Structure 1
Amino acid sequence: MFLENLGVDALDPLRLGRFWEAALGTTSLTVEPDLLETRLDLDGTAYLDLCFVRVPAPNQAPLRLQLALRGGTEQADVVERLRGLGAEELDSGHGGQPRGELADVEGRAFRVRGEQEECVDTGPLAAVLLESADPERDAEFWAWLSGWAPAPDRGAHTLRHPSLHGPLLELVPERAPKRPDAKNPIHLDVRLEPGEDPEEIAAEIERRGGREMHPDWGELPWRVHQDPSGNEFCVLPAPAVAP
């Protein structure tokens, strides 16, 4: 398995997806009225896709997965550029100095990090922050699920792609328990490798504290699960093997 997607609920996938393409410098894969997929290249062979999918109504559930962009010593300039793309600043900080808390064009919060050593070589997307009831437990779960490796030099309960390129995946303490009736507005997707058995993977997810969900979303080519803290994720089928 490998971590392939960030799935993002969107009222207007084209508008929201174009904002994030400009913010991160990603490359379009699929552009349709109800779907925009764009690729963040990690090292020329590995990637992370952002998939903006139309939803019929705003998802007001608490944001348990948040994006953090790299600002570094140019944090103020990055914030200003994002404002020019349509982002709104949420908190100007002490004395009018930017703190990097913004909202995208659909009002969803994200961060621009300042000068932090652990983010100097991540690329434009510094980190993906996922709330957890038990960060140590869930870091182990996501390391197994995603194929990303622990990166203790970058912070506690932090994972990174084995290439050592791209963003960090940080398991952070949750502000409140996950509401069972509230779907995360942003979620992670993993994809099976050829030869991996989806039934065996589903059983192992259960053994490690997750669970499979059976939402009434019609026929789906993937399976929906929750991690031990209740965060949704999808397990996508392995790509077809050419004959």
Structure 2
Amino acid sequence: MHLENVVRDARDPELLGRFWAAALGADPFDGACSRLHLGGGAWLDLCFQPVPDAPTDDPRLHLDLLGGHRQAAVVEELLALGATHADIGQGDVPWVVLADPEGTPFCVMDERPEYTATGPLAALPLDSADPDRDAAFWAALTGWVPVEGTPGTRALRHPAGVGPLLELCPETSPHTAKNRLHLDVRKDTADDEPPQGARRIHDPYDLPWVVYADPSGNEFCVLEPSGD
């Protein structure tokens, strides 16, 4: 299997799709989706699915954008696109917390050696009850490999050494509600199955995917092979 999509619940998918495509320099396609090219032929798609109500949860997965020495300029560019400053109790920290046009927080990061050459999306921090265990789970699920991450986390990256880090971060509270952001993986062959520790939480009905939870309860979808 391979990691294919970052999926966000949205009241206005096209509005958020335009914002995030512009924020990350991704290529829009299919209405509310865009493709972020990571280099070396690797990519991630950003997809926005409609929901009737605004989410109220604290997101267990969020986006960390590359700032570094351009942090202040990147923040100004994002504010011009429709982002706003956000206070989530972060206090005095070297990164900047913003919210997208529907209020979901994300961060513009300070200079960090682990984010060298990631491109505009530096990291995908995911809450975990056991980062060591969950890093092994997501490595087996996606084929991403361990790398040095932010202190206190366990990090994975595309085996080509491109794109963002998937950072398993110690959770501050257990998973209790559907997350507004989740990841999709796609089977490489019809026989692929998630690794031990995955819990199936929805039947496929007539949909070309099945919803699972990782060992910490974070939802993810398994898509059928593309047929390409």
Give aligned pairs, total. Answer: 225
Moved over 6 A (4+): none
- The one-letter code sitting in structure 2 at the alignment partner of 1:165 is V
Who is 1:222 aligned against?
209
Question: Are the aligned partners of 2:149 and 2:165 in contact in 1 as well (CA < 8 Å)?
Answer: no
Shift of 1:120: 2.1
- The one-letter code sitting in structure 1 at the alignment partner of 2:122 is A
Which ranges of structure 2 fall in alignment gaps of 5 or more residues?
Answer: none
* 1:125 is aligned to 2:125: no
Shift of 1:218: 5.6
Who is 1:165 aligned against?
162
CA RMSD of aligned residues (A): 2.0
Distance 1:85 1:153, change over 3 A: closer
Superposed CA deviations along residues 98-138 of structure 1, whole A, max 9, x for unmatched, are 74101000000000001111112100000000000000000
- The one-letter code sitting in structure 1 at the alignment partner of 2:139 is A
Taking the TM superposition and a 5 Å limit, the aligned residue runs for 1:67-216 are 67-91=63-87, 99-152=95-148, 156-179=153-176, 182-193=177-188, 195-198=189-192, 201-202=193-194, 205=195, 208-214=196-202
Query: For 1:45, which of 41, 66, 70 is the aligned residue?
Result: 41
Question: Are the aligned partners of 1:150 and 1:160 in contact in 2 as well (CA < 8 Å)?
Answer: yes
Percent identity, aligned pairs only?
52
- The one-letter code sitting in structure 2 at the alignment partner of 1:197 is D
Question: Are the aligned partners of 1:189 and 1:236 in contact in 2 as well (CA < 8 Å)?
Answer: yes
**Partner-residue secondary structure (3-state), 1:106:** coil
Aligned equivalents of 2:109, 2:222: Cα separation in 1 = 30
What is the TM-score with the length of structure 1 in the denominator?
0.87
Aligned equivalents of 2:58, 2:64: Cα separation in 1 = 17
Which ranges of structure 1 fall in alignment gaps of 5 or more residues?
Answer: none
* 1:3 is aligned to 2:3: yes
Aligned equivalents of 2:62, 2:55: Cα separation in 1 = 14
What is the TM-score with the length of structure 2 in the denominator?
0.92
Aligned equivalents of 1:62, 1:178: Cα separation in 2 = 10
Question: Are the aligned partners of 2:40 and 2:160 in contact in 1 as well (CA < 8 Å)?
Answer: no
Specify which structure has the higher proportion of helix. 1
Aligned equivalents of 1:42, 1:68: Cα separation in 2 = 15
Who is 2:225 aligned against?
238
Shift of 1:44: 4.2
